[in-house]
Amino acid sequence: MAKNLGGAIIELLDSERVDLRAAAAMVLAAVGKRDKSVQNALTSRLEDDDMGVRRIALEGLADMGAAGIAPKLVPLLRGNDETLAERAATLLAQQGAEAESTLRKEVRAGTVGARRVMAQLLLRRGTQPAIDAVLDQLSDSEFGEQALQLVRAELDSGNDKLANQVEKSAVGRASEAAKELHKLWAKAQKSAADAQKSSAKAAKGKKKPDGANGSNGHATAADPLRDPEVSLGIARLGSLLRLIGYLARPSTQSLLLKYADADEPRPIRLAAIAGLRRIVAQSEAKGTEKVIETLIDYADGDDLAIAQSAIDTLRGARIPESLAKPFAALAKSKNVMAQKLAMERLPAGGGASAVKALVEALGGDDPTARDAAARGLAKAPESVLPVTRALLASKDEQVARRYAGVIRAHRGHVSNQAIDELVDQTRDLMDKHFKGKATADQLVFERVLAELIADVAPGKHVELLFERAKRLRKAGKAVEAFGSLKPLLRSRADLDAAIDDDQRFFLAQLSLEAVGEGLLRQMSANDPVFEQFSRLAAKGYPVAKNLAKNAEVTDEQIYALGFRLIESGDGANEELGAELLEGIIEERPRSKLAKSAKNKLKLTGHLDED
């Protein structure tokens, strides 16, 4: 761009007329890609009073691949333009490390919606400072609960690296938070005791009218929990304990049990007991004896809030054989809810022999006995592993489906050991199927197990599907491989959430290999095949770069994909399509395909005329 002309157009960005500012922004976005002054000028328009000017400036900066603009993008997240905020979030994700320091600083304040987006971007970055920045928000009265839910959602996606980072940081933070809280708690208790003494002394010296201050003339006790510093400390430690519990790591049992002790403030005890819930639900009875014993004691205690929390945690726990009698004794507890729990869980009170009898009855021929056994086993979490093993040993499809039904009743509380045994057996059956050695009964049994795993362990189900697809593709059966994964294109939300970015890219590129460029050009822009690429690109995944490196995907297929995305009418899809065609031009500039790509980009306005 000529210097004088460029300067004149840049000056128009300061015009009072909106149409002139919009026109100037549009021209600069189209022709000033390598001009730093143009980038700076457009960046300044991200704060323009007019929504249209802001959008033009943002799209122009996106096309330029502008770097170092994260501080200017964050305010857009806080605006009332959802489209602009979504686009700004996409650009922030693409800025990577350059944006991280800005996000770590800005996530501390602002609207909840904007902070949610920033926290999500930081968690996806996956660096320790980024994760710590989100964990710092857990004690925030306005955003803390939202931050906790976001971390949980990322953990649910099966990100083991993130889980390890969170555990290490959260355990260390909990120790520091507990030390600080104990100091504040002791200070608040002392202040409360002093205030109570002073109040009692004053009451003796001066008798107040009956009912004065709502105390009937008696001194009222100060509550240490109302101290602002104590409240903040409890919020911080409590959220950390809940997060640690959500990880469901058996190694953290002793830590959570320590904070459930009667010497701790009640909110901390409640958080610690709640934190134990997933651990005891996902572990077999071995190794949890001390926790279960303590919870049984709490369930029969005088503090009704603690007792109810203990009961809720015991409801999903496996009761060890050695504690069957103390648990059954809760049927005579002074707490009605504890009585109800014990009576609901009669198999646990009867120990392993009662569970074994019910499992045998469920696999028997008597319909009445089967129904009664199914109801009893559905209320006994300790039955999951025995029922799982009975399922794996069964030979009859209908019996297997009855056992599977009981396991489904405990969805969310199926132990890791039970899931591992289900997965191992399914993997063996899939191996026989792949080698062509499976019998008809084994094929049916494989389907029963696969359906069950999809319900109780979506992440494992996805893992098994991709293992099979990769074997089929390696054997030169790309169409069959794609067919085995095709149900995931329109799957349930929990299965879709279990697919990580690399798996999603494999699924998307497999679809290219399977359908071919001819069919690809005829597919609708709303086809889920295109959606996989779009979702990856929106998260900043290097789609074009990875496709270019893949020897299994031809240039013709990449061209067909880029061509279809450009014609989709969706801005984000058009950008990805243009990037794919530009890659062909860069890699093979003199090829026939490159010429076609240039023509398409020119026709759609994605490439300047020579």
Same domain, 394 and 450: yes
Predicted local distance difference test score (pLDDT) of residue 572: 67
Same domain, 14 and 49: yes
Of 83, 115, 147, which residue is a domain's last?
115
Residue 495 domain-assigned (yes or no): yes
> Rounded to whole angstroms, what are the CA distances from 274 to 169, 178, 252, 413?
20, 17, 13, 14
Q: Predicted confidence band at 217 (pLDDT cuts at 50, 70, 90)?
A: very low
The total of structural domains in the chain comes to 3
Predicted local distance difference test score (pLDDT) of residue 212: 47
> Per-residue pLDDT averaged across 14-33, rounded?
80
Of 61, 92, 115, which residue is a domain's last?
115
Lowest-confidence region among 329-338, 513-522, 549-558, 577-586? 513-522
Same domain, 393 and 477: no
Tokens 């979030």, residue located: 89
Q: Predicted confidence band at 526 (pLDDT cuts at 50, 70, 90)?
A: low
Q: Predicted confidence band at 372 (pLDDT cuts at 50, 70, 90)?
A: confident
Same domain, 531 and 426: no
Q: Predicted confidence band at 379 (pLDDT cuts at 50, 70, 90)?
A: confident
Residue 513 domain-assigned (yes or no): yes
Residue 65 domain-assigned (yes or no): yes
Of 428, 456, 484, which residue is a domain's last?
456
Residue 436 domain-assigned (yes or no): yes
Dihedral sign for Cα 368, 370, 373, 378, please.
negative
CA proximity to 271, closest of 335, 331, 187, 181: 181
Predicted local distance difference test score (pLDDT) of residue 581: 86
Whether pTM > 0.85 for this model: the answer is no
Residue 416 domain-assigned (yes or no): yes
pLDDT tens digit string along 180-203? Answer: 999 998 888 888 887 778 777 776
Residue 170 domain-assigned (yes or no): no
Same domain, 425 and 394: yes
Same domain, 474 and 586: yes
Angle between helices 555-566 and 592-603 (to 10 degrees): 10
Contact between 377 and 362 (Cβ < 8 Å): yes
pLDDT tens digit string along 490-500? Answer: 778 888 888 88
> Per-residue pLDDT averaged across 446-471, rounded?
93
CATH of the domain at 539: 1.25.40
Bigger pLDDT: 69 vs 393? 393
Bigger pLDDT: 8 vs 449? 449
Bigger pLDDT: 564 vs 179? 179
> Residues of the chain with pLDDT > 70: what percent?
90
What is the spatial distance between Cα 227 and Cα 193, in angstroms, rounded to a whole number?
A: 13
Tokens 């074994």, residue located: 356
Phi-psi region of 158 (alpha: psi -120 to 50; beta: other; left: phi over 0): left
With a cut of 50, say whether residue 252 has pLDDT above it. yes
pLDDT tens digit string along 124-176? Answer: 888 999 999 999 998 888 898 999 999 998 888 878 888 999 999 999 999 99
Same domain, 19 and 48: yes
With a cut of 80, say whether residue 517 has pLDDT above it. no
Output the six-digit token pair for 119: 């926290």
Same domain, 42 and 85: yes
Contact between 424 and 389 (Cβ < 8 Å): no
Same domain, 363 and 390: yes
Predicted local distance difference test score (pLDDT) of residue 220: 46
Bigger pLDDT: 395 vs 537? 395
3-state helix, strand, coil in the chain (%, to 5): 75, 0, 25
Same domain, 486 and 608: yes
What lies within 8 Å, CB to CB, of 92 at 6+ separation is: 70, 73, 74, 99, 103, 118, 121
Predicted local distance difference test score (pLDDT) of residue 86: 80
CATH of the domain at 36: 1.25.10.10
What lies within 8 Å, CB to CB, of 598 at 6+ separation is: 585, 607
pLDDT tens digit string along 287-327? Answer: 889 999 999 999 999 999 999 999 999 988 888 888 888 88
Residue 246 domain-assigned (yes or no): no
Domain extent, residue 22, equals: 3-115
Residue 541 domain-assigned (yes or no): yes
* Average pLDDT taken over every residue of the chain: 84
Same domain, 451 and 554: no
What is the spatial distance between Cα 368 and Cα 387, in angstroms, rounded to a whole number?
A: 19
Same domain, 383 and 470: no
What is the spatial distance between Cα 329 and Cα 331, in angstroms, rounded to a whole number?
A: 5
